[in-house]
């Protein structure tokens, strides 16, 4: 017997990104937020979500190692949409990290560096929510290929909503053009995927779009997005708090 949420999960596969966002805002109210790493997909989702709910909650992880163009994009997005992007920081400053773990942790142990600067700040934020919206797409990496539009995120213990799961890169680009969405100018300089300065390089012709992330380190994900189990808890358990809003 399927739970209510499993039924919604099946239905959601045929919903548009806008329909899924509308469902998320109506169901979870103040307890759903949009996460973005300021990549081009995240900008599409920000624009789309803002058109549906101008008071949307949005956050990004600021590792202290981002490109100047990324910080500038945050300011431009805030100005264009009249929103405030909450920035999540690590417990350790870069200087404290170097004192505790030595210089260049990202080159010696990028998993630990990402855990300190990305995963743990996100874990603290997600503990305050019932659902989060992310801009990942199935065609980005093998690890993301099985993501559903609606997922139980067992790692962080809440619902993960992926409205762009079935979008192509071309569709993303078309949306950006059609809606005049702000984006990182590094995308036009052969940086299809942008993270920290220490771990991102431009890609060469013919390389995979994410080949410039953790190049040569055998790492493809920062640990925020892991494969999801198929089973979902009952919907009523998940919307208890949100239903009060
Ligand atoms: S992407 Fe690199 S610099 Fe950024 S948190 Fe991860 S390992 Fe550290």
Going by CA atoms, what residue is nearest to atom 4 of ligand 1? Answer: 196
- DSSP single-letter state for residue 204: P
* Residue 40: how many other CB atoms lie within 10 Å: 21
Q: Indicate the pTM of the whole model.
A: 0.89
Binding site membership of 63 for ligand 1 (Cβ less than 6 Å): yes
Ligand 1: centre distance to CA 110 (Å) = 6
Q: In the sheet where 150-153 sits, what is the strand order?
A: 85-88, 58-61, 32-35, 131-133, 158-161, 150-153
CA of 82 to the centre of ligand 1 (A): 29
- State residue 231's pLDDT score: 57
Series of mean pLDDT values for 10-residue runs along the chain (245 residues): 79 97 97 96 98 97 98 98 98 98 95 96 97 94 89 93 96 97 95 93 84 74 60 51 33
* CB neighbourhood size of 54 (10 A): 10
Least Cα distance to 183 among 42, 57, 51 occurs for: 42
Ligand 1 contact, 106 CB (< 6 A):
yes
């Amino acid at each position: 017997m399927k739970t209510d949420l499993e039924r919604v999960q099946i239905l959601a596969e045929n919903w548009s990104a806008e329909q899924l966002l509308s469902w998320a805002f109506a169901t979870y109210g103040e307890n759903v937020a949009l996460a973005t790493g300021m990549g081009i997909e995240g900008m599409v989702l920000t624009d789309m979500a803002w058109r549906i709910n101008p008071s949307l909650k949005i956050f990004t992880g600021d590792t202290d190692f981002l490109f100047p163009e990324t910080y500038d994009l945050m300011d431009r997005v805030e100005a264009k949409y009249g929103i405030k992007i909450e920035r999540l920081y690590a417990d350790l400053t870069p200087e404290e990290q170097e004192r505790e773990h030595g210089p260049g942790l990202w080159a010696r142990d990028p998993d630990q560096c990402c855990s300190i600067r990305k995963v743990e700040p996100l874990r603290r934020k997600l503990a305050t929510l019932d659902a989060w919206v992310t801009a990942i797409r199935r065609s980005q990496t093998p690890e993301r290929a099985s993501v559903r539009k609606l997922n139980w995120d067992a790692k962080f213990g809440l619902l993960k909503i992926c409205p762009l799961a079935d979008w192509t890169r071309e569709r993303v680009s078309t949306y950006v053009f059609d809606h005049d969405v702000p984006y990182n100018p590094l995308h036009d300089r052969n940086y299809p995927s942008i993270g920290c300065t220490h771990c991102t390089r431009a890609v060469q012709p013919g390389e995979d779009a994410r080949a410039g992330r953790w190049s040569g380190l055998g790492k493809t994900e920062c640990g925020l997005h892991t494969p999801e189990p198929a089973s979902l808890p009952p919907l009523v358990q998940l919307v208890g708090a949100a239903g009060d809003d």
